[in-house]
Amino acid sequence: MSMPIHGAAPQKIVLPGVRCTLAVASGKGGVGKSTVAVNLAVALRRKGQRVGLLDADIYGPSVPMMLGLGTVDPRTTRFPLEKFGMKVMSMGFLVPPERAVIWRGPMVHKAVAQFLSDIDWGELDYLVIDLPPGTGDAQLTLTQSAPLTGAVIVTTPQDVSLIDARKGLRMFQEVRVPVLGIVENMSYFVCPKCGERSEIFRHGGGKRCAEEIGVPFLGAIPIDPAVAVQGDLGVPIVESHPDSEVAKIYDQLAERVYAAAQEVHAQQSPLPSL
């Protein structure tokens, strides 16, 4: 029997119109979780999928900026918003990011639960959820109550980040959410002048971590200044430069995520092919 970890497990939210719900998670902040969530969502949409993006990082909602959106008047706005052909919701539409730090764990859960159940997401093939970083109570409650197909864990090659990634893996295992795999972000650097690839940190940490835990390694994304620039400009790199190397890597990531999610769905409700 599975034991609830902190008191009773929260009520599971049901989203009948959503075929696949992906949590993008990280053990700590600053590893590029939001960047990966946003570009993965765009990559899936570019493959003809109906995509929603929920920014559940109530502490640091960065999805609005990354999509060129800001606060709106909730009295005259219908949520979710639409951008780049995706449905998007974020606390950053209601509260400016600099005011978001006052949120407490239970409030975080309540807000995200409302974003999931009170907003009309309609029919979606994928709902990508940018989770708050870390493995505390707020994250745990969210992973228990959201109807997650699986989790994608983002890490960087540094040891500290990998230790936190392992904590994330354990959290999902405890709440029985399948971990679809690990993505290593800021993995290496390709010199724009000579094309030489340098490993800035010790190589292969994400891959080793994935092998250790027995989950797929979904890919390595290089450090690329254009990725950060596009994030700041509000047009994700996969949208602005679909033919770039990084966009191709995101393409591959989308395909691997699809394959892993398909395995979870098994025979019951296969996903539309990419």
User: Contact between 26 and Mg ion (CB under 5 A)?
Assistant: no
Site string for Mg ion, 29-68 (x = CB under 5 A): -----x----------------------x----x------
User: Contact between 32 and ligand ADP (CB under 6 A)?
Assistant: yes
Q: In whole angstroms, what is the distance from residue 101 CA to residue 148 CA? A: 26
Tokens coding 262: 């398909």
Residue count, binding to Mg ion (CB under 5 A): 3
**Which C-beta is closer to Mg ion: that of 57 or that of 184?**
57
- Give yes or no for a contact between 53 and 88, defined as CB atoms under 8 angstroms apart: yes
Q: Residue 206 binds which entry of Mg ion, ligand ADP, none, with Cβ cut-offs from 5 to 8 Å by kind?
A: none
256 conformational bin, left if phi > 0, alpha if psi -120 to 50, beta if neither? alpha
Phi/psi for 251 (5° steps) reads -60, -45
Q: Residue 181 binds which entry of Mg ion, ligand ADP, none, with Cβ cut-offs from 5 to 8 Å by kind?
A: none
Buried b vs exposed e over 76-103: b needs ≥16 C-beta within 10 Å?
Answer: eeebbbebbebbbbbbbbbbebeebeeb
Q: In the bound complex, what is the minimum distance in angstroms from residue 61's beta carbon to Mg ion?
A: 8
Q: Residue 224 binds which entry of ligand ADP, Mg ion, none, with Cβ cut-offs from 5 to 8 Å by kind?
A: ligand ADP
DSSP 222: -
User: Contact between 185 and ligand ADP (CB under 6 A)?
Assistant: yes
Phi/psi for 190 (5° steps) reads -105, 120
**What is the bridge-based pairing of β-strands 189-190 and 197-198?**
antiparallel
Three-state DSSP at 205 gives helix
**Which C-beta is closer to ligand ADP: that of 5 or that of 163?**
163
**Which C-beta is closer to Mg ion: that of 62 or that of 155?**
62
Site for ligand ADP in 196-255 (CB under 6 A): 221, 223-224, 227-228, 231
Residue count, binding to ligand ADP (CB under 6 A): 18
Q: In the bound complex, what is the minimum distance in angstroms from residue 133's beta carbon to ligand ADP?
A: 6
Q: Residue numbers of the site for Mg ion (CB under 5 A)?
A: 34, 57, 62
